Amino acid sequence: MAHAPGHFEERAAKVEGVDYRYQVFIPGGLTPSSRPPIVLFLHGSGEKGEDNRAQMTQGLPPWLKTHLDFPAVVVMPQAHLQQSWRDNTAAAAALATLRMSVSEFHADPKQAYVTGLSDGGFGSWKLGAEHPGEFAGLVIICGAVFSTWDGKPWSGIWGAPVQDGPQAVFDWVAGKVRGTPVLLFHGSDDQAVPPEQSRQMAAALKRIGSPVRYTEYPGVGHGSWQQAYATPGLWPFYAAN
């Protein structure tokens, strides 16, 4: 008997006294004994807001809408307008929605993945580095680990040695996520987030023998996520891409 296809549901949570709304993709045929994988998706800066809708317009959510047989729970929180996923409060909220969804849908915490695009890519690096061992894999699209804020070096990742320059941060982050498979995607002509960020992170991970695969799209600008999320075999638990 065929299962009904997956579907989306809305959720809300209060984290550190602040209300957050998020959407969840629930795979078809889910039962308490299913123990499905679970994916946390972090949107870009253009999808922030309060409507619990904008984060569904770019990246993984549109792909999911055409792949309703996807066998994993997908959690899609929305950051508030004034926030970045590099902020500790927003990152904590995202992680809280993931953990609540693991409990609600009886997902397998050993098969938890984090993915994000642009600002969500920054946030994915942050969560991966600050919570080593929490994720089975990172899928990061046009993200970065080092930038400047008000003319000063900044990362957003707690403990990153930004005072020592970008190379020190690349190596430090690589050490934090060591052993966790990482897939990186970037457009060669990205003017918003330099592709050198992903190139350097891939190189840092390779130097320490940590599993990484980097894909760079020639002639593509910042919007590389449509191609990235359509990559066959992107998810180890889903072959029918």
**In a domain? residue 163:** yes
> How many structural domains comprise the chain?
1
Tell me which residue range forms the domain holding 58: 7-229
Pair of tokens at residue 141 = 């699209």
What DSSP string describes 124-139? HHHHHHHSTTS-SEEE
Per-residue pLDDT tens for 218-229? Answer: 999 999 999 999
CATH of the domain at 26: 3.40.50.1820
11, 24 Cβ separation under 8 angstroms = yes
**In a domain? residue 94:** yes
- Which string of b and e fits 154-182 if b means at least 16 CB within 10 Å? ebbbeebebeeebeebbbbbbebbeebbb
Pair of tokens at residue 68 = 């309703």
**In a domain? residue 234:** no
Per-residue pLDDT tens for 162-191? Answer: 999 999 999 999 999 999 999 999 999 999
Per-residue pLDDT tens for 51-86? Answer: 999 999 999 999 999 999 999 999 999 999 999 999
**In a domain? residue 101:** yes
Nearest-angstrom CA–CA distance, 17 and 182: 33
**In a domain? residue 237:** no
Nearest-angstrom CA–CA distance, 167 and 208: 14
- The 3-state DSSP class for residue 206 equals helix
**In a domain? residue 235:** no
Model confidence at 16, pLDDT cuts 50, 70, 90, reads: confident
**In a domain? residue 238:** no
**In a domain? residue 27:** yes
Model confidence at 1, pLDDT cuts 50, 70, 90, reads: very low
Mean pLDDT value across the chain: 95
Nearest-angstrom CA–CA distance, 234 and 188: 20
pLDDT above 60 (res 241)? no
Task: Please give the share of the chain, as a percent, with pLDDT higher than 90.
Answer: 90
Residue of 149, 167, 155 whose CA lies nearest to 204: 167
Q: Please indicate, yes or no, whether the overall pTM of this predicted structure exceeds 0.85.
A: yes
Per-residue pLDDT tens for 108-135? Answer: 999 999 999 999 999 999 999 999 999 9
Residue of 159, 136, 126 whose CA lies nearest to 42: 126
Residue of 54, 4, 42, 56 whose CA lies nearest to 26: 4
Average pLDDT of 231-236?
96
